[in-house]
Amino acid sequence: MTTMEIKLWNDKREREMYDNFGELYAIIKATERLEKAYVRDIISPQEYELECQKLIAHFKTLASTLKDTVPSIERFADTYKMECPAAINRLVVSGVPATVEHRTTAAASASTSAATVAECVQNFITSMDSLKLNMVAVDQVHPLLSDLYASLNKLTILPPDFEGKTKMKEWIARLSKMGAADELTEQQARQLHFDLESSYNSFMAALPNAALVFLPAVVWFECLSS
């Protein structure tokens, strides 16, 4: 009985194309397994990142070579029923290892928090300075306390019952019942300044140890007010 050899290609060019298809298939499958291993803590973040970077680099090179024959990686995966959603996300959507992605997100979050801390410090100091300058009319004080309260609420590291939030909310409610031209009495202004100073000290104590990142902004605004 004779066997017939079935050719998958007609020429060298087609053979190279199918070889590349096989390599692309292997990269996607390997990336899927790597993603699952990382999620399950089977490999360390360092090992994962190194291997993932290699796979991404190979994928980018191969995808560029196959851009005319494989215009859509998602369609390629569907055609061969690969079912590799994690790999498609890592290779096509993200393009960087999960460890790098998380570090970038954390850095962005820290940057945003630092900016919000600086905003809070500025609002605290501006509010206290305005009282020292005898700016005690409701239409002068109310906007400053509103800005301070809003900035404190943006900072997620502060608990909901943080002293500064509670006191500023109470003062804003009290001022809202007064006329715009009304002024705080000397006793009220003194109490408000005391509450602001107390809240500011609590605010600084509430910042995490990692908040050394925030120090330049804090020092800058404190220097401006001195």
Query: pLDDT by residue (tens digit) across 80-115?
Result: 999 999 999 999 988 888 888 777 566 666 656 777
- The hierarchical CATH code for the domain 108-223 is 1.20.120.1130
Question: Phi and psi dihedrals of 166, rounded to 5?
Answer: -60, -45
Distance CA 120, CA 152 (A): 6
Determine the pLDDT at residue 8. 63
How do residues 106-162 score in pLDDT, each as one tens digit?
666 665 677 788 888 888 988 998 898 899 999 999 989 998 999 898 887 888 889
Residue 213 vs residue 206, higher pLDDT: 206
- Residue 223: pLDDT band (50, 70, 90) is very low
- Residue 12: pLDDT band (50, 70, 90) is confident
pLDDT above 50 (res 21):
yes
In the block, residue with structure tokens 């630092």: 114
Domain ranges in the chain are 12-96, 108-223
- Residue 210: pLDDT band (50, 70, 90) is very low
pLDDT above 70 (res 45):
yes
Q: Which fold has domain 12-96?
A: de novo design (two linked rop proteins) (1.20.1440)
Distance CA 35, CA 48 (A): 8
